[in-house]
Amino acid sequence: MTLQQLLDQGTEQLRSAGVPDAGLDARYLLLDTFGLGLASFLADRGRTVDGLPGGAEKAQAYEALIARRAGRIPLQQLLGVQEFMGLEFFVNEHVLIPRQDTETLVELVLVERKQRDLDVLDVCTGSGCIAVSLARLGGYRSVTALDVSAEALKVAEKNAAALLGEYDGDFRLVQSDMFAGLETKETEAQPGQEPGKAEILPEQAAGKAAASRDLTRPSLTPQFDILVSNPPYIPSQVIEGLEPEVRDHEPRLALDGSPDGLKFYRILASEGKRFLRPGGAVYFEIGWDQAQAVSALLEREGFTQIRTVKDMAGMDRVVGAVLGAAADNGHQAPGRSRETVRTIQARPMEQGI
Ligand code: GLN
């Protein structure tokens, strides 16, 4: 059998399993298994598989992947990668696969917030695609990324380690059910305390740092200038109607936004503002029909300059807002030279969602 015949056979199997883009997916899997670029595949596709080094085993591995894809496992979980903002993110079944829609959010932040001396908080980070892209491409002073899932944080940690590149700010990962793992504490400022190097606090390491009260270690960044989130936002009953790839193979935890889809926006709007400096900004990804509801939640919590931005498909995709300086968010204006600063520290996880 030639490579082309093997490809045709795989394509046919995927097509009969109802996989959209069967030909494309079969080709991606073939190129990946045989370690071929498109050009060398086109040159070699008439060659028999058995004549290639390790050809028989590779053909078997390919057929196994085709069978899994026919079972509607997402292509990205089989390949283990998804490109996002020009970076190649590792993914597995514990994280939502980064969507192109979400680039709308990252691009908006990068365009609107060009200063570097900003502290960013990403809630529900999943694969870390938003947090890592903002750190790498925005060069912000610090990026702190939260997730409730220890398995997701392992993925985010791997992506941070591989993709942060020359980023020289503080990058932290914290296991936390929304904001539950962050608390504000009055602590004495440590004169001369250096900001930490890019640091990853997997799972409960952040909790340990808080428990030890060791302020010579970098503590979590006090307050934030930007709060971003792509929370679970699909109404529970809508999930059943989604493609099997999403419904059966992506984590429910990353998708299910409660019966009305808005549970996490309520928490983001009401609790998130406690961690934002006055004038701080929020950017939330939303479902195409949630702009009005999410804007109303933000307005009720004292946010201003509320606006909706559309994705490339022309659907409402991001809501942005600013925390009005007049709003009472329980904090005084920040001042790094003040003797007493508010420090947000992590405490150990209590309970998952
Ligand atoms: N936009 C994603 C989807 O359609 C869902 C993302 C989310 O719930 N955060 O599958």
- Token pair in block for residue 44: 């070699």
Q: Could you tell me the distance, in angstroms and rounded to a whole number, from the CA of residue 337 to the centre of ligand 1? A: 42
Q: Taking residues 343-351, what's their average pLDDT?
A: 34
Query: Of all helices (H) and strands (E), which one includes residue 194?
Result: none
In this predicted structure, which of 88-97, 210-219, 228-237, 306-315 has the lowest mean pLDDT? Answer: 210-219
Query: CA-CA-CA-CA torsion for 87, 92, 96, 102, nearest 10 degrees?
Result: 10
pLDDT for 338 beyond 70: no
Residue-wise pLDDT for 223-260, tens only, equals 899 999 999 999 999 999 999 999 999 999 999 999 99
Provide the pLDDT for residue 183.
Answer: 61
pTM above 0.85, yes or no: no
Residue 190's pLDDT band, with cuts at 50, 70 and 90, is very low
Which of 76, 82, 285 should be mutated for ligand 1, with most atoms under 8 A from CB? Answer: 285
In this predicted structure, which of 161-175, 235-249, 288-302, 330-344 has the lowest mean pLDDT? Answer: 330-344
- Token pair in block for residue 18: 């109802």
pLDDT for 199 beyond 90: no
Provide the pLDDT for residue 324.
Answer: 83
Q: For residue 231, give the ligand 1 atom closest to its CA.
A: 9
Q: Could you tell me the distance, in angstroms and rounded to a whole number, from the CA of residue 236 to the centre of ligand 1? A: 12
Task: Enumerate residues lining ligand 1, CB below 6 A.
Answer: 96, 99, 101, 230-234, 246, 255
Residue-wise pLDDT for 136-179, tens only, equals 999 999 999 999 999 999 999 999 999 999 999 999 999 999 99
Task: State what percent of residues in the chain have pLDDT above 70.
Answer: 80
Q: Could you tell me the distance, in angstroms and rounded to a whole number, from the CA of residue 175 to the centre of ligand 1? A: 21
Q: For residue 96, give the ligand 1 atom closest to its CA.
A: 6
pLDDT for 12 beyond 50: yes
- Strand pairing of 224-229 and 276-285? parallel
Q: Could you tell me the distance, in angstroms and rounded to a whole number, from the CA of residue 183 to the centre of ligand 1? A: 28
Nearest-CA residue for ligand 1 atom 5 is 255
* Helix ranges, 273-318 (H): 291-300
Provide the pLDDT for residue 167.
Answer: 97
Task: State what percent of residues in the chain have pLDDT above 90.
Answer: 78
pLDDT for 344 beyond 90: no
Residue 290's pLDDT band, with cuts at 50, 70 and 90, is very high
> Strand, helix or coil at 263?
helix
Query: Of all helices (H) and strands (E), which one includes residue 172?
Result: strand 170-175
Contact 7, 30 (CB under 8 A): yes
Provide the pLDDT for residue 115.
Answer: 97
Contact 136, 87 (CB under 8 A): yes
Provide the pLDDT for residue 325.
Answer: 59
Nearest-CA residue for ligand 1 atom 9 is 232
Q: For residue 232, give the ligand 1 atom closest to its CA.
A: 8
pLDDT for 328 beyond 90: no
CATH 1.10.1060.10 fits 86-345, yes or no: no
Q: For residue 250, give the ligand 1 atom closest to its CA.
A: 10
For 73, residues 6+ apart whose C-beta sits below 8 A from its C-beta are: 245, 249
**In the predicted model, what is the mean pLDDT of the chain?**
85
pLDDT for 332 beyond 90: no
Q: Taking residues 69-85, what's their average pLDDT?
A: 98
Q: Could you tell me the distance, in angstroms and rounded to a whole number, from the CA of residue 122 to the centre of ligand 1? A: 16
pLDDT for 108 beyond 70: yes
Q: Could you tell me the distance, in angstroms and rounded to a whole number, from the CA of residue 345 to the centre of ligand 1? A: 30
Please measure the distance between the N-terminal and C-terminal CA atoms of the chain and give it in whole angstroms: 51
Nearest-CA residue for ligand 1 atom 10 is 246
Residue-wise pLDDT for 38-75, tens only, equals 999 999 999 999 999 999 999 999 999 999 999 999 99
Residue-wise pLDDT for 257-279, tens only, equals 999 999 999 999 999 999 999 89
Q: Taking residues 18-23, what's their average pLDDT?
A: 97
Q: Could you tell me the distance, in angstroms and rounded to a whole number, from the CA of residue 97 to the centre of ligand 1? A: 9
Provide the pLDDT for residue 214.
Answer: 33
Which of 82, 97, 99, 262 should be mutated for ligand 1, with most atoms under 8 A from CB? Answer: 99
Q: Taking residues 77-103, what's their average pLDDT?
A: 98
C-alpha pair distances (Å), 225 with each of 113, 132, 311? 10, 17, 24
For residue 182, which amino acid is it?
L
pLDDT higher at 162 or 339? 162
For 193, residues 6+ apart whose C-beta sits below 8 A from its C-beta are: 215, 216, 218
Q: Could you tell me the distance, in angstroms and rounded to a whole number, from the CA of residue 77 to the centre of ligand 1? A: 16
For the chain, domain boundaries: 3-71, 86-345
Provide the pLDDT for residue 195.
Answer: 35
Q: For residue 102, give the ligand 1 atom closest to its CA.
A: 1
Query: Of all helices (H) and strands (E), which one includes residue 10?
Result: helix 3-16
Q: Taking residues 18-25, what's their average pLDDT?
A: 97
pLDDT for 215 beyond 90: no
